Amino acid sequence: MKEALGKYFGQKLIFVVRILLFCTVMYALFRTIQYQQQGFEGLMTTFLSSWQGTPFYFWIVLLTLMGLNWTLESLKWQTLLQNIEPISTVQAFKSVLTGLALGMLLPSGTGDVAGRIINLKKKTEGIGAGIISGVIQTIVTISFGYFGLIYIVQKFGLKNSLESYLILGIPTVGTVVLGIGWYIGKQKLIKNQRIQQVLEAIYTLRKKQWGSLFAIGIMRHLVFILQFCLLFNWAGVKLPFVDTLAVVNSVFLAKTIIPALNFVSDLGVRELSAIYFMRHYAVDINQVITATFSLWLLNIGIPVLIGSIWILFTRKNAH
């Protein structure tokens, strides 16, 4: 009873902390925009002027990249399930979009995993596959972002800054986490049968499959980078190519390591991170926010809408 109560209040506490973090991020973003000379009116003017008169082919390119992004994620999901419960590419795509839509309602990535495994027979093993999928993309994002941070720190001589602390902290934390995971796996300290089922997704993967998974994760990240660079240029944020890459990867790094309540709070983290890393450059913050919000619409907003429609039709067919 005490254990159940402790678990319940622990989950509630985490939820409250994430709510507070979300409010803090949105407040900081609000104040940042408010302190600009043109304020929210200037932001809306920049956003609308950027969208108006944009060539049709530009949006076709971005929508194609959006489709490629989620197709790659679907292939990653399909590969993860090959040795557990094989599914078709179409089923994988539907599962990924369903997970994205449910992530709107459930916090901490639980909705994403729940949506992906909803039609699986081996749901426990599917949870493990969902966790691995997220971990692989996290490793790729942090790796690229780490080099982006190094570039920014060296270019601007940032000592005793958040960036410099992250450069020291990321490999330290990564080494500790990997060491603990290796020790637990080697000593076989996990005896719980249900946890063993979750970990089956790891045990059944072959070396070739691991290589494929990380290759897909890298390709997906490169799609993210291309989208962001195109949107920065479209919104009027003109930086040298290498600097743009460094900032973009640093933003994705921040978005990955800062906990988000759901896909909405992810929106605030993205904008605030971009503003933070752009502080060294003479750029219009309104243009930065326009680019980051448009990226959110393309990669999260539209796919969530598609996933929600898919869930609605699935329920209707079930009845």
Tokens of 1: 């009873």
**What is the residue whose two structure tokens read 């966790």?**
131
108 in a domain, yes or no? yes
pTM: 0.83
113 in a domain, yes or no? yes
13 in a domain, yes or no? no
Q: What letter represents residue 52's amino acid? A: Q
The tens digit of pLDDT for each residue in 38-52 reads 555 656 666 677 777
98 in a domain, yes or no? yes
Q: What letter represents residue 150's amino acid? A: I
| Residue span of the structural domain in which 196 resides | 86-318
112: Cβ contacts below 8 Å, ≥ 6 apart? 99, 100, 102, 103, 130, 134
C-alpha torsion sign, points 304, 25, 221, 83: negative
115 in a domain, yes or no? yes
162 in a domain, yes or no? yes
Which whole number is the average pLDDT over 283-290?
87
Q: Give the span between the Cα atoms of 220 and 299, in whole angstroms.
A: 12
28 in a domain, yes or no? no
The tens digit of pLDDT for each residue in 94-138 reads 899 888 877 766 665 677 888 898 888 888 888 889 989 999 999
The number of domains in the chain is 1
CA distances from 108 to 41, 99, 187 (A): 33, 12, 29
Q: Give the span between the Cα atoms of 187 and 203, in whole angstroms.
A: 15
Length of the chain, please?
319
The tens digit of pLDDT for each residue in 215-263 reads 999 999 999 999 999 999 999 999 999 999 999 999 999 988 886 555 5
65 in a domain, yes or no? no
